[in-house]
Amino acid sequence: MKSEFEKDILGEYDKFSLSENLIEKESLRKSIREKIIAKTELNSLDYQLLGLIDTGSDDWRNNSKKIIENFKKAVEKDKSNFMAQLYLAHIYHDIGNLELALKNYLKVDTKALKKFQLWRYVKLIEQIGFCTYKLGNETAGIVFFEKVLNWYMKTPENGLARPSELLECLPENHRIVIEIKKIEDYLE
C-alpha cells in the first residue's frame, strides 16, 4: 500500500510527465526534487523519480551521469524495481553506450514487465535486438526482431510501440520489415 507521500509525489510526477508547459514542468520538477530530497532516507521509488524528472529535461544529456547514478541507486535499494532497471538501460541506450544498455536490458525482470505492460515488454525485446544487432551480432539481433514480429502478429490491435529500432536496423525489403508494415499500415 502506498503512503500519502508516495500518492502525492506520484500525482505530481504524473502532472509533470503530462505537462507541455515548460514553466509548469520546471516548477513541478523543482517541487518533486525538493520534496524527495527533504526526506530523511530515500527509497527506490525516490531515486527512480529523481532519475525520471531529469530524463524529462531539455538538458538531460548534461545530467546523464546524475540520472544513471539515481537509477542505479533505485535498483540497489530494490532489486525487484524492474522499471528502474529498464530506465537505467534506456539512459545508456540514449547516450549511445550500447554495451551497458544491453547488459542492463538483460537484467530487466521480463515476467514482471510483461505483466505490467505488454507494449513495454515487446519494446524491450526490440531494444535487446537493436543493441545486439548494432554491436555486431546481426544474426542474433534478427532473432529478437523475429520475436517482435511474432508479437505484432499475435496482438495487432494491442497498441504496441512503433518498432523504430527494428526499422533502423533492417533494410526496407527485409521480410520482417515487410511483415510489420502489413500489420502496422501507418508505417507505409
Q: Are 187 and 181 in contact (CB under 8 A)?
A: yes
Instruction: Supply the pLDDT for residue 74.
Output: 98
**1-113 is classed in which CATH architecture?**
Alpha Horseshoe (1.25)
**Helix, strand counts (H, E) of the chain:** 11, 0
User: Distance (Å, rounded) from C-alpha 72 to C-alpha 84?
Assistant: 8
Instruction: Supply the pLDDT for residue 157.
Output: 72
Q: Which three cell numbers stand for residue 151?
A: 508479437
Low pLDDT (below 50) residues in the chain: none
Q: In sequence order, which residues have a C-beta less than 8 Å from that of residue 96 and are 6 or more positions away? A: none
User: Distance (Å, rounded) from C-alpha 91 to C-alpha 69?
Assistant: 11
**Model pTM?**
0.91
Q: For residue range 47-96, what is the model confidence (pLDDT) as tens digits?
A: 999 999 999 888 898 999 999 999 999 999 999 999 999 999 999 999 99
Instruction: Supply the pLDDT for residue 143.
Output: 98
For the chain, the structural domain boundaries read: 1-113, 117-188
Closest CA to 127 of 152, 93, 91: 93
Q: Which three cell numbers stand for residue 160?
A: 504496441
